[in-house]
Chains A and B, each alone.
Chain A
Amino acid sequence: MGDFNNIGKLYRVIKRSKPDTIKRRNGKIIGVSSALFKDEKGVSVDQKKERTETETIDELKNFFDKRSKGIVSLLESDVTDTEAVLIPKPSVYSPYHAEIHKSHKEILLDDVQALQLADSCNFVFLDENVQWTK
């Protein structure tokens, strides 16, 4: 039996914006828009790897500080299910940083990939009190 805690998990930050990419219905949060996965520079995520989920979330919250409104998680298998690719891109800020690309040759996800990934997300952190600023 494998270690389910180490199943490849990814985290995507929802930055404060007005409007944001959080879907709400009748005052209840129901998910995220596929717009969260449409980024011309590549969709940035953090890989959990050997960290606990709490450590991963805390490190992201510390890095993004007031710019972060929420964090969603999804699995690496969710990425491969859409035929997208996960490109590890460690940076000076995070050795766990990676990007989701459409393929090894193209960065921009197609619209169906973005929707599937959004549908796969689960909220792991949300602060509705984070203020949007110019």
Chain B
Amino acid sequence: MLLLDYQPEIYPTGRRTIQMEYEKADRSYLEFEIGQEKIKVLKVPKRQYKNARQHEILVSNYKALSKIVNEFIGGIDEWETSTTLASYIA
């Protein structure tokens, strides 16, 4: 958490994970679901569910979260062209 420039909302799930959420004014949504070994990443641009993108990264690559958050907050919407996630995909 201390590594993140922007602090998330944090919620517990019923499947032994912790969820961190970010939401922008245009309702774009970023979620990290943190388990013991993997972090699931969900991004939904402007709440357009059909355009949702999901990936997983290893918990050991937690430093990637900060870049993903900064890109999300900074408005880089081209998920597919983001090199940050590609370099950290499990």
A interface residues (Cβ-Cβ under 8 A, vs B): 17, 19-21, 23, 33-36, 38-41, 108, 111-112, 115-116, 119
Contacts and interface: CB of A to CB of B under 8 A. Distances in A.
A17 B31 contact: no
A36 B14 CA distance: 7
Contacts of B31: 34, 111, 115
Contacts of A112: 42, 44, 49, 52, 54
Nearest to B41: A111
A119 B49 CA distance: 11
B10 A38 contact: no
Given A33-B9, A38-B13, A116-B49, 14 more contacts: A17-B12, A19-B11, A20-B11, A34-B31, A35-B12, A38-B15, A39-B15, A40-B14, A40-B15, A111-B31, A111-B52, A111-B54, A112-B44, A112-B52
18 contacts: A19-B12, A20-B11, A33-B11, A35-B12, A35-B14, A35-B19, A38-B14, A38-B19, A39-B15, A40-B14, A40-B15, A40-B16, A111-B40, A112-B42, A112-B44, A115-B31, A115-B42, A115-B44
Given A23-B9, A33-B9, A115-B31, A41 B14 contact: yes
B13 A35 contact: yes
Contacts, number: 54
Nearest to B29: A115
B67 interface: no
Q: 9 smallest A-B Cβ distances: which pairs?
A: A39-B14, A38-B13, A35-B11, A40-B15, A33-B11, A35-B13, A35-B19, A111-B42, A112-B52
Contacts of A111: 31, 33, 40, 42, 52, 54
B21 interface: yes
Interface residues of B, number: 21
Contact of B19 (A34, A41, A119): A34
A36 B21 CA distance: 13
B63 to A, nearest CB: 22
Contacts of B21: 33-34
